[in-house]
Amino acid sequence: MSNQLTRRLALLDEEENRPLLGQGLRGIERETLRVDRQGRLARTPHPVALGSALTNPQITTDYAEALLEFITPAENDIGLTLHKLDAIHRFAYTKLGDEMLWSESMPCELPSEEEIEIAWYGTSNIGTLKHVYRRGLALRYGKAMQCIAGIHYNYSLPEKLWHLFSVDQGVPEERRCGLRDFQSESYIALIRNFRRYSWLLMYLFGASPALSKGFLRERQHNLETLSDDTLYLPYATSLRMSDLGYQNDAQSGLTPHENSLESYVRTLMDAVNRPYKPYEALGTKKDGEWIQLSTNVLQIENEYYSTIRPKRVIRTGERPVQALCKRGVQYIEVRCLDVDPFEPVGISVETGRFMDAFLLFCALDDSPMINQMESQVHARNFSRTVKEGRRPGLTLTREGEEVALQDWANDLMARIAPVAALLDEQHNEGGVHAQSMAAQQAKIDNPALTPSARVLDEIRALGSAAAFGLRQSEAHAAYFRESPLLPAEEQMFIELAESSLAEQREIEQTQTGSFDDFVAAYNSSTLCGD
């Protein structure tokens, strides 16, 4: 165990500091496609009874009009977070009619590209900007790719914990921005460790080893045929996170930026402002209609697809990178988790307990800077795991040597165990993190227990990835519909939906200026000094 990890664990184990472990926040964003009773993409508009996709804080849409996104409030305990996520699902099902929520990350049967509707956010300038941004994504990546769903895990530790560590490390308190900078640097250090070890998450929680044949739209691939309508890789854990996902030559040139917040911001701002010839050839308008926000490498910062992001809650009219520049990192967003098709809400509390232990370990442990060669090694380890993580004898590269994935996983679990034990000491329910650790250890010992292996077993039995997705979707729909919300809970969601619709109307009625001017102002507001 590293000196820093040992020292920080001892600090947090002191009686007066232990409550800090219960003061961090967790939030979940769950994406899910609306589908009809046959498991095909729903062609209906976003249900107005769910509120405004522009302004409802808990129910919105992602890329496609049919791709719902459920966003929980941030809570101190993942159990409460998932209770809130469950309630959002139950409310949604009261407004979906005969439609269902798709149970998997990889999409259901999709219509032609032209028939996939891009999400609509109303006629306001900000709503139109969100829509045009998605038009740009369609040009750059194709619409099918934007129908992939995932689980985003938002995680933060309390500022008092960072203050405790800053004092322990001798950061002068008189420095005006000392704690803010220390906190940002510490979250970036967490991200570096996440880059080193996130292959383990893909082994443990990857759940997309197969996909429907039509998804690839005749693209070249190296997948194998499982059945007439299903492609797969026999040892894959997450095809969603493989290079079958967001392939793009423009983004491939972005350099790593894990070593400082300044480097991260500089890299993104360069990409947002640097023209890219193939996009310049398309232009921003066609026949007078906006087709993308800019012809640069990235239209906006969020177009950069990453497995983890440093984040801060933004203020009205503020861009994400501006918020980071002005006020530092507030939390991190983990973006690589597949939707768990065996869980009605897409993620289990057991997975959440392990995520808490894993991310706290990444925050507490030593985290040396990462050079470009090391970054490539981390990316290669991740890629190997998503494509062939269950292959017997698979090796990953650690400190210049090849080591068996299973051996490295065992080493990591041994290092995470004291962190899980400390969380259990603080937690009111005894042993829940240790129980999750034991469940993950069983998957390392026996790959057949991993979600990806279980999914493949079910697909083989049914003969089709689509059939498996439909069966799970039907089971989850029945689960939610058989146990509706209490009237007071449902009324809360109804009022939230109604107030969001009123807020959208207010925005549309009071805005001034043209959309062209709005885009020009938005594109120019990329500097931290703005």
What per-residue confidence (pLDDT) applies to 319? 86
Mean pLDDT of 71-78: 97
Q: How far apart are CA 515 and CA 124, in angstroms?
A: 8
Tens-place pLDDT, residues 447-478: 999 999 999 999 999 999 999 999 999 999 99
Strands 331-337 and 151-156, sheet pairing: antiparallel
* Whether residue 226 has pLDDT greater than 90: yes
- How confident is residue 251, by pLDDT bands cut at 50, 70 and 90? confident
DSSP annotation of 60 reads E
Q: How far apart are CA 136 and CA 300, in angstroms?
A: 10
Q: How far apart are CA 364 and CA 263, in angstroms?
A: 22
* Whether residue 76 has pLDDT greater than 80: yes
- How confident is residue 189, by pLDDT bands cut at 50, 70 and 90? very high
Helix (H/G/I), strand (E/B), else coil: 459: helix
- How confident is residue 530, by pLDDT bands cut at 50, 70 and 90? very low
Percentage with pLDDT > 70 across the chain: 96
- How confident is residue 223, by pLDDT bands cut at 50, 70 and 90? very high
* Whether residue 66 has pLDDT greater than 60: yes
Q: How far apart are CA 430 and CA 28, in angstroms?
A: 24
Tens-place pLDDT, residues 34-59: 999 999 999 999 999 999 999 999 99
Mean pLDDT of 491-500: 98
Length of the chain: 530
Q: What is the pTM of this model?
A: 0.96
- Tell the residue number behind the tokens 């007078």, with chain if given: 288
Mean pLDDT of 331-357: 98
What per-residue confidence (pLDDT) applies to 246? 56
- How confident is residue 174, by pLDDT bands cut at 50, 70 and 90? low
What per-residue confidence (pLDDT) applies to 509? 97
> Which of 65-79, 308-322, 332-346 bottoms out in mean pLDDT, i.e. has the lowest?
308-322
What per-residue confidence (pLDDT) applies to 256? 59
* Whether residue 419 has pLDDT greater than 70: yes
* Whether residue 299 has pLDDT greater than 90: yes
Mean pLDDT of 3-24: 94
Closest CA to 347 of 446, 178, 201, 164: 201
Compute the Cα dihedral for 320, 326, 332, 336 and give only its sign.
positive
* Whether residue 527 has pLDDT greater than 70: no
* Whether residue 381 has pLDDT greater than 90: yes
Is residue 165 a contact partner of residue 200, using CB atoms and an 8 Å limit? no
What per-residue confidence (pLDDT) applies to 310? 96
- How confident is residue 32, by pLDDT bands cut at 50, 70 and 90? very high
What per-residue confidence (pLDDT) applies to 529? 47
* Whether residue 248 has pLDDT greater than 70: no
> Which of 55-69, 119-133, 388-402, 427-441 bottoms out in mean pLDDT, i.e. has the lowest?
427-441
Is residue 55 a contact partner of residue 500, using CB atoms and an 8 Å limit? yes
Closest CA to 250 of 293, 305, 310: 305
Structure tokens at 414: 């041994």
What per-residue confidence (pLDDT) applies to 133? 97
What per-residue confidence (pLDDT) applies to 177? 64
What's the fold here for domain 3-524? Creatine Kinase; Chain A, domain 2 (3.30.590)
What per-residue confidence (pLDDT) applies to 289? 97
Task: Supply the mean pLDDT for the chain.
Answer: 94
For 401, the enclosing helix (H) or strand (E) is strand 401-404
DSSP string across 232-276: E-TT-SBGGGSTTSS--HHHHTPPP--S-HHHHHHHHHHHHHSB-
Strands 25-35 and 67-71, sheet pairing: antiparallel
* Whether residue 243 has pLDDT greater than 90: no
Structure tokens at 515: 């959309």
Q: How far apart are CA 122 and CA 159, in angstroms?
A: 38
* Whether residue 294 has pLDDT greater than 80: yes
- How confident is residue 315, by pLDDT bands cut at 50, 70 and 90? confident
Q: Where are the beta strands (DSSP E) in 157-263?
A: 210-212, 224-227, 230-232
